[in-house]
Each structure stands twice: as C-alpha cells, then as structure tokens.
Structure 1
Amino acid sequence: MAKPTLYLASPYGFSAHWRSRLLPDFVEALEQLGIEVWEPFTRNGQVDLAQPGWAWRVAQADLQDVRDADALLAIVNGTPPDEGVMLELGAAIALGKPVFLYRDDFRRCSDSEDYPLNLMAFSGLPQEGWQDWLYGSIEELKAPSKALMQWLRGWASGEI
C-alpha cells in the first residue's frame, strides 16, 4: 500500500540555517508517522536564477504538488504568516484537501479572540473541534486524539 502524501508548506527553505535546522525536524517527525513528505524546497527548489521564467516554473511545480498531494500541513508562524504558505493553504482548501496547521508562534495576528490568525486560514477546518487540526509542537503531530493521526488511521483502514 502506498504511503499517504503530505505537502509541507513552509517558509523554512528560504534560509540555509532554517533549511538545515528546522525543516529536517518536521520531515523526520512526519516520515516516522508513515507519511511521504513532499517538501517543495527539496522537490522543486532547484532554482537557476540566471534562467528566465524560473519563478513561474517553481510556482507551477509547487501548485501541481499541492493538487497531487493527499493533504497539506502549513507552518503558519509569523504575523502575518508567509504569503506563499498562505496561498498554498488556500489552494489546498479550495481543492478540498485535508489541511493541518502548525503554529508555535505565541503572537496573535487576528481580530478574533478564538483564532490565533486570520479567520480564512481556518475555513478548511471543521467549525467544532478545529483545535484538533492546529498543532503547537512537533511532538503534538503524533497525538492520537488529534486530526493528523485520525486522518492516518482512516487512510490505513481504507476509509479515505
């Protein structure tokens, strides 16, 4: 049986330090859960700035991966979160993909008392229990009661 694929939307590939120190922690944690992680900086980030049209090609490849992945995990730290991550999240929501949010940034960037960031980021989550789709630590990704592990159980049982 093929592993479920998860697109990891994150701004961490833009910095060499973050790419070597932060991204591997997420990829490893998700792979340990039995997920095939599609990390766009690794998959589509072979950028030759001297080549005309490189940005369009990278954007198209990333969007195609969002379309083809089974689900998306968006790292939504920042005030506001990275605009590319938010566009990938919006595309996944529009495509009806399961979306999971990761935010360990304690700052709020919302006009709502309930939600820690822009309300539209939560439009792909259920109204009740949306908190189960939001993660505040890498360790929490494997919490059996939260949405990611429930999605994986559904995948493994063939319900998804």
Structure 2
Amino acid sequence: MIRTLYLAGPDVFRPDARERGRMLKALCAEAGFEGLFPLDQEVPAHLTAPAAQAAWIYRANIALLERADAVLANLDFFRGPEPDSGTCFEVGYAVAKGKPVFGYIPEHGSFAQRIRQRHPQAIGADGVLDTQGWSIEEFGLPLNLMLSVPAPLVVGDARTALVQLVRYRDAREAAPTK
C-alpha cells in the first residue's frame, strides 16, 4: 500500500522552497498521501563545515527515501536541458529499491524536441547533435530512457501526477492477491 511519497525535485532550490514544500505536502494530503519533503529536516546547528552538512543531508534524504512507499519527482529541466542530477539519483535509488516512481514534466514532446524547444542554444547547426558534437538521445521518450522507461512520466504538474498515482494505487489495491 502506498501511503508516503518522497517529494523529489529541484524545488528545494527555489527561493520559496519551504512554502513550495508545504504546498506539495498539502496536495499529497488531499490525495490521501503523506508527503516527505527534504527540507522538513534541519541540518543540526553543530554541523558547520559544508562537507559535514552535505553528508548529513545525503543521509537524511536516503532515510526519507527508505521510509517512502513511492516517489513523486519533478523532472522538469533544471539549470539547462536536463533534470536535476540529485533528483535523477533519487529516482534511480527508488527504482533500485523497487519503489514506484511517478515523474512530471511541463510539456509534451520527445526529449530531443523538448530540448530544441526550450534550449535551442544547446543544439548544433544540424539539429541532430548538440553544440559540442554529441548526439541527442531520440527514442521518442520525454526524457533520457533511464528515466522514461522505469517511471511513468505525466505531462503537467504535481497535482496531475498525483491523480495518476492515485489511479495506480487504487488499481493495485483492487487487484486480487495470490
């Protein structure tokens, strides 16, 4: 049964990150879930060295991922034409643990189409390679295949993804057990 959701995404970097976390948790509650937002935890005051703070945050986020039954991930582009790398790690961690992951992105289109639309400066003159001559993944999926294949990706926002997650949960709970 899915009761708790780890709220992954670059939302923790927003200027209004704590308010955003409260809003995401409220959406989760409306859908019948408990949202676990990384910034709900405070780095202990005695940890002043950046490396110690980073290690504490890593361990705290892993503990939240372990506690969660599933992950709701904001996989929109962040600081360029890719999702946040920390969020990608969290998605991979959850998938490796066998936890369902539901991601959301703001628009339709393949990964390459979305890059061309939102980050045209990253595309080379031929439209097939990036500006460094590297190929742009094109499998018709909305993100890199390592994110698109294991995690249903919803076009829309967190609320839209939660609707899909509720359908998934309800279908699983209604399915006969062996």
TM-score range, shorter chain: 0.7 to 0.9
1:54 is paired with a residue whose SS is helix
Residue 94 in structure 1 maps to residue 100 in structure 2: no
Identity, in percent, stands at 27
1:77 matched to which residue of 2? Answer: 76
Whether 2:144 is the aligned partner of 1:121: answer no
In structure 1, what is the Cα distance between the partners aligned to 2:90 and 2:44?
Answer: 19
Please state how far the C-alpha of 1:70 moved relative to its aligned partner. 0.3
Q: Does 1:34 align with 2:32?
A: yes
Q: 1:135 to 1:105 in 2, by over 3 A?
A: closer
Amino acid at match of 2:7: L
Change (3 A) 1:92 1:139: closer
**Structure 1 residue aligned with 2:114:** 108
Q: Distance in 2 between matches of 1:104 and 1:135?
A: 5
Deviation at 1:153, TM superposition (A): 1.7
State which structure, 1 or 2, has the greater radius of gyration over its C-alpha atoms.
Answer: 2
Residue 38 of structure 1 deviates from its aligned partner by 0.6
Distance change in 2, residues 1:46/1:15 (3 Å):
farther
Aligned pairs for 1:1-160 within 5 A: 4-20=3-19, 22-42=20-40, 44-46=41-43, 48=45, 50-51=48-49, 53-78=52-77, 79-104=81-106, 108-109=114-115, 111-125=137-151, 130=152, 133-143=153-163, 146=164, 148-154=165-171
Counterpart Cα distance in 1 of 2:37 and 2:171: 23
User: 1:104-138 CA deviation, whole Å, 9 max, x = no partner?
Assistant: 1567246225212111002324xxxx4xx524134
**Are 1:3 and 1:36, in contact at CA under 8 Å, matched by a contact in 2?**
no
- Unmatched 5+ stretches in structure 1: none
C-alpha separation between the residues in 2 aligned to 1:29 and 1:100?
A: 15
> Structure 1 residues 71, 139: closer, same or farther in 2, change over 3 A?
closer
Distance 1:159 1:100 in 2: 23
Q: Mark the runs of 5 or more structure 2 residues left unpaired by the alignment.
A: 116-135
How many Å separate the matches in 2 of 1:116 and 1:103?
8
Say whether the 8 Å CA contact 2:2–2:169 is kept in structure 1: no
- The alpha-carbon deviation at position 139 of structure 1 amounts to 3.9
3-state SS of 1:96 partner = coil
1:152 Cα shift? 2.9
Q: Which moved more, 1:52-61 or 1:106-115?
A: 106-115
